[in-house]
Amino acid sequence: MTQCIEKVLFSEEEIAEKVKEIGAQISKDYAGKNPLIISVLRGSFVFMADLVRAITVPCEVDFLSVSSYGSGTVSSGEVKIVKDFENSVADRHVIVVEDILDSGRTLSYLMNTLRTRGVASLSLCTFLDKPDRRVVPVEVDYCGFQVPDEFIVGYGLDYDQRFRNLPFVGILKPEVYGG
Ligand code: IMP
Ligand code: MG
């Protein structure tokens, strides 16, 4: 697996440090609010698992699944909620957790959908942000790292469902996806 990686961007240790920082900030901002933390599957599952353990105030978790990518490396622009969450979000302080913000299509759609469901507040926590690729503007409240316009894998992020289990984040060699 590691031979498919061109460059490691963030090591396991750097990621752990950053996740701790974000967890501490969220704990401060959401004290007494019992936030509902919603993970966008599948890419954010690793980040989500580490993040909630870095949050020291009571919170609840839920999961939803959207599809935007198929198996390629370019967003189709089409967003579908494949698995909706179990809890009602009405009057809840909701934090959406995503792996990477790319064109912004997925999150823009998702945040707008959640806003119509009567949330008390809504914020976005993305592990990675690829600002050069933004097509639709999205407001970010918590962000781990900014990344260059390359295809990124590891720590939950996949290429064609592979590489999610890498404990670090790296740039995928273009020859792996025929780039
Ligand atoms: P957007 O709708 O274009 O912002 O796409 C967001 C989704 O595309 C993310 O949740 C990821 O699943 C996927 N994605 C975007 N860029 C990358 C990448 O560099 N590596 C892996 N997945 C990516
Ligand atoms: Mg994804």
Taking only the tens place, the pLDDT of each residue in 11-33 is 999 999 999 999 999 999 999 99
What pLDDT score does 79 carry?
72
Looking at 35-44, 70-79, 134-143, 145-154, which range is the least confident one? Answer: 70-79
What pLDDT score does 36 carry?
97
> 37 with 52: CB under 8 angstroms?
yes
Q: Indicate the burial class of 150 (C-beta count within 10 angstroms; 0-12, 13-18, 19 or more).
A: middle
- Counting ligand 1 atoms within 8 A of each CB, the residue from 68, 159, 168 with the most, and so the one to mutate, is 68
- Counting ligand 1 atoms within 8 A of each CB, the residue from 5, 39, 102, 106 with the most, and so the one to mutate, is 102
The alpha carbon of 74 and the centre of ligand 1 are apart by a number of angstroms equal to 8
> 68 with 105: CB under 8 angstroms?
yes
**Cα dist from 82 to 65, 105, 131, 157, whole Å:** 5, 16, 26, 18
The alpha carbon of 99 and the centre of ligand 1 are apart by a number of angstroms equal to 8
